[in-house]
Structure 1
Amino acid sequence: MIQLKKLLTLALILFFTSSTLAGCLPGTGGGQLPENRVIIGGKNFTEQDVLVHIMATLIEENSDIVAERRGYLGGTNVVHEAIRTGSIDMYAEYTGTGWTVVLGEEAIGDPDQVYDGVQEGYENQFNIRWLTPLGFENTYGLTMRPDQAAQLGVTRISDLQEHAPNLVFGCTHEFLERPDGYGRMNEYYGLNFRSVTGMDPGLTYAAVRDGAVDVIDGFTTDGRIPAFNLVVLEDDRAFFPPYYAVPIVRQETLDRLPQLEEILTRLGGRLTNEEMARLNAMVDLERMRAETVARMWLEEEGLIP
């Protein structure tokens, strides 16, 4: 099953970089891009879409740059391949993801060391720059219904060890494949779940709330965790690395549009975990458009008129 997922992931990467996004590249069917245009990509979940619109709106309101928005492109491998090949110019990545998934390094707990490491690694290998962190950290957190967690006496991930053979684990397809994901986590904590179900990121929270699964790989800034009254288990053995969100941009794009870095730096440290969770909830629970939520937050922060 996991081998099939790897093949599907590879097929998606090839698809996006060779066909869907090909029309955006100079010299392809899409024609030559204007010098003042940037293409901003995003992964396939709500937070990423909100960040696409935050960055795009900030750029357009503070310059003559036209920002093309390409949200929901796919998982990490797809979006990384898009920026590496120039199909997109930038997106928001997470430090721990860049460190473990893209650079293939072992997870470490020091956030500054991880940030310095991805800066150096991406610049040397891909000519891609990590700019100023946005402020929040969206780490993985194993998430359960509070009544079941209380019944089992589970508050930490290590507490799951004796109960895992009777529990169903639900997670995103990407989590099944990541080096900081399902397989390594099980080995690290000695877990052996009864079964595992891969699903779309938008379905996991309802699945655990409704009892279709017992434990999920939650994102700690997801507004559905408090809204659905779920609990996040303590990563008591510090398995997951830090995952601070940071705009990353191709150096060629920064050379072409030097004002871009200064504009994006204005977002530095502005988004707290609580703020990001609030914006995510507006989209997921209040059914507001991500673009509307992004503009509202930028106005609240005084970053746009």
Structure 2
Amino acid sequence: MRTRVLTIGLLLVLAVVFTGCGGMTGTKDTKTIKIGSQTFSEPKILAEMMKLLIEKNLGYKVEHVTNLSASTIVHQAMLNKEVDISTRYTGTEMTGPLGLEQPIFDRKQAFDFVQAEFGKRFNQTVFAPYGFENTYALTVRGDVAQKYGLTKVSDLAPYAANMKLGTDTSFLDREADGYQALTKLYGFTFGKTYPMEIGLVYKAVKDEEVDTVIAYSTDARIRSFDLKVLADDKNFFPPYEAVIIARNDTLEQFAGVKEELAKLSGIIDTDTMTELNYLVDEKKMAPEKVALDFLTKKGLIK
């Protein structure tokens, strides 16, 4: 009787051990990989690319966690292990989570710094860039640019006090590379600022509720809404190369994920990303469809 009890007990222990080991190696029936994205189209498209690569090529379960309001929210979600993978931008990470008071303006040095520090501080892997940079751009309505002869940011100085600025919430809140630092460098402030989700910014400029917009350089709506990009003549904006960041414990737990994510490095240039954004924002295609078409064309999914 004692022998039988011991045997049953041993079998139960082994079952628990093997179940635990299965969880740690990331079997297809255990944990769901969560990919986070912000509110605008670009990170949503890229998140869908990652989701498709992992699901179709590896068979893991993937959830796309959408509409995270700011890069700081995405970062905290990854620290809290609520999100495993996300697309981020080197300029934002330098002055945000990594706390640099003065960003690094050399593109390679900026990437190397972000990659090394995320590994040390957060135990996260920063992959080689997708191949494009999505920097902030100060833009004005076409009619306003023509009226005042605006071609560069410095040209706004005599007029900014009577202008209304629309911007995403993140830019208005950040200290080192956000609104306060920009206006300090250029020596002027806008009469009113309106923080909002980026999609609403373009509606506001279309309705002439704002004169000036902090836009994203790969956003196809710059063209669609007749916005004039003003030259950053004092070199305020640091490099904003788009990169994948993943938690190391996720990469260790799920075999093959690191290799699949690496396939996206170096294959999306600025023109391509702008076109993909255009398909979603202007042609109203679903990010999932745009991602699928791109990966299929590239031969990256099975």
Name the residue aligned to 1:8.
none
Instruction: Report sequence identity in percent.
Output: 39
What secondary structure, in the 3-state scheme, does the structure 2 residue paired with 1:202 have? helix
1:100 aligns with 2:72: no
Name the residue aligned to 2:165.
169
Matched AA of 1:208: V
1:138 aligns with 2:134: yes
CA distance in 2, matches of 1:69, 1:128: 19
What is the Cα deviation at residue 211 of structure 1? 1.3
Q: Deviations over 1:45-93 (max 9, x none)?
A: 1111111101111222211222211111221111110111211111011
Query: Does the 8 Å CA contact 1:131/1:261 hold for their aligned counterparts?
Result: no
What secondary structure, in the 3-state scheme, does the structure 2 residue paired with 1:169 have? strand
Name the residue aligned to 2:291.
294
What is the Cα deviation at residue 36 of structure 1? 6.0
Name the residue aligned to 1:80.
75
1:40 aligns with 2:72: no
Say if 1:266 and 1:156 are closer, same or farther in 2 by CA, change over 3 A.
Answer: same
Name the residue aligned to 1:257.
254
What secondary structure, in the 3-state scheme, does the structure 1 residue paired with 2:68 have? strand
Name the residue aligned to 2:63.
68
Matched AA of 2:98: L
Matched AA of 1:128: Q
TM-score (norm 1): 0.86
Match of 1:123 among 110, 119, 125: 119
What is the Cα deviation at residue 210 of structure 1? 2.6
Q: Deviations over 1:162-194 (max 9, x none)?
A: 211121111111111012111111001112211
What is the Cα deviation at residue 280 of structure 1? 1.1
What secondary structure, in the 3-state scheme, does the structure 2 residue paired with 1:144 have? strand
What is the Cα deviation at residue 34 of structure 1? 4.6
Name the residue aligned to 1:282.
279
Query: Does the 8 Å CA contact 1:107/1:241 hold for their aligned counterparts?
Result: yes
CA distance in 2, matches of 1:73, 1:173: 12
CA distance in 2, matches of 1:37, 1:193: 45
CA distance in 2, matches of 1:186, 1:161: 10
Query: Does the 8 Å CA contact 2:28/2:59 hold for their aligned counterparts?
Result: no
Query: Does the 8 Å CA contact 1:134/1:270 hold for their aligned counterparts?
Result: yes
1:186 aligns with 2:186: no
Query: Does the 8 Å CA contact 1:42/1:73 hold for their aligned counterparts?
Result: yes
Query: Does the 8 Å CA contact 2:136/2:215 hold for their aligned counterparts?
Result: yes
Over 3 Å off, 4+ runs = 32-37
CA distance in 1, matches of 2:197, 2:265: 30
Query: Does the 8 Å CA contact 2:28/2:60 hold for their aligned counterparts?
Result: no
What is the Cα deviation at residue 274 of structure 1? 1.2
Query: Does the 8 Å CA contact 1:142/1:232 hold for their aligned counterparts?
Result: yes
Matched AA of 1:168: K
CA distance in 2, matches of 1:35, 1:249: 19
Matched AA of 2:290: V
What is the Cα deviation at residue 258 of structure 1? 3.7
> Structure 2: where are the runs of 5+ without partners?
1-26
Name the residue aligned to 1:248.
245
Matched AA of 2:82: S
Q: Which moves more between the two structures, 142-151 or 47-56?
A: 142-151
> Structure 1: where are the runs of 5+ without partners?
1-31
Between the two proteins, the alignment pairs up a number of residues equal to 274
Matched AA of 2:170: E
CA distance in 2, matches of 1:187, 1:121: 28
What secondary structure, in the 3-state scheme, does the structure 1 residue paired with 2:198 have? coil
CA distance in 1, matches of 2:28, 2:57: 20
Query: Does the 8 Å CA contact 1:36/1:257 hold for their aligned counterparts?
Result: no
What is the Cα deviation at residue 35 of structure 1? 4.5
TM-score (norm 2): 0.87
What secondary structure, in the 3-state scheme, does the structure 1 residue paired with 2:267 have? coil
Instruction: Supply the RMSD in Å over aligned alpha carbons.
Output: 1.6
Name the residue aligned to 2:215.
218
Match of 1:269 among 260, 266, 269: 266
1:237 aligns with 2:237: no
Matched AA of 2:166: G
Name the residue aligned to 1:14.
none
